[in-house]
Structure formats: C-alpha cells, structure tokens
C-alpha cells in the first residue's frame, strides 16, 4: 500500500509539471530591439526553460526515490538498564 501511494505521488508530480510546462510554453515574449540589437531577456530563450524544468524534475525524482527497505533494531538490556546486545535486521516491503 505504501509503495502504491509513492507511485501515485510521482505520477501526480509528473502530470503537474507537464501542465506547468505547457502553460509556460504557450506564453510568448515579444522581441525587443534597442539600437538595432536584440534586447530580449533570458525569459525569451525557450531552451533555458526546458533545461531548467528537466533539471528540476531529475532532482525531484532523485530525492523522492527512497528505497522500500527499512531497518528494525532490537536492543537487549540487563536488569540495570545496561545494553547487552543490539541486533539490526533489514525489512523489505
């Protein structure tokens, strides 16, 4: 169940990013010339927007892609509360 929720979250993030990219792509920036030179800013350069969105998506996917493994640690103590033994086990869900 936990893995399905994570996959659904990633799909929603991907669809939202694609929608935002489509909205940004549809906006047009007019060309501005000053003294015969193109004075448009970096907003008008579509390849920068595309590269930025791709880098952002890759970073989000990398940081959200946690493993499904978890670790359980069992600590055995004596009557005085001193640690006698510690056991760690990997749990794959």
Query: What's the pLDDT at 68?
Result: 56
Query: What's the pLDDT at 8?
Result: 83
Query: What's the pLDDT at 47?
Result: 79
pLDDT digits (tens, 9 = 90+) for 64-93: 766 556 778 888 888 888 888 888 887 766
**How big is the CA angle at 6 (ends 20 and 55), to the nearest 5 degrees?**
40
User: Per-domain residue ranges for the chain?
Assistant: 2-30+38-92
% of the chain exceeding 90 in pLDDT: 4
DSSP letter for 81, please.
S
Alpha carbon distance 34, 28 (integer Å): 19
Question: Highest mean pLDDT range out of 38-42, 56-60, 62-66?
Answer: 56-60
Query: What's the pLDDT at 56?
Result: 92
Report the chain's C-alpha Rg in angstroms: 25
């Amino acid at each position: 169940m936990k893995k399905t929720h994570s996959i659904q979250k990633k799909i929603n993030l991907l669809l939202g990013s694609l929608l935002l990219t489509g909205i940004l792509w549809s906006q047009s920036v007019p060309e501005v010339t000053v003294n015969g030179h193109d004075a448009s800013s970096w907003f008008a350069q579509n390849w920068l927007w595309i590269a930025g969105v791709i880098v952002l998506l890759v970073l989000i996917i990398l940081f959200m892609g946690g493993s499904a493994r978890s670790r359980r640690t069992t600590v055995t103590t004596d009557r005085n509360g001193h640690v006698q033994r510690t056991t760690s086990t990997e749990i794959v869900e």
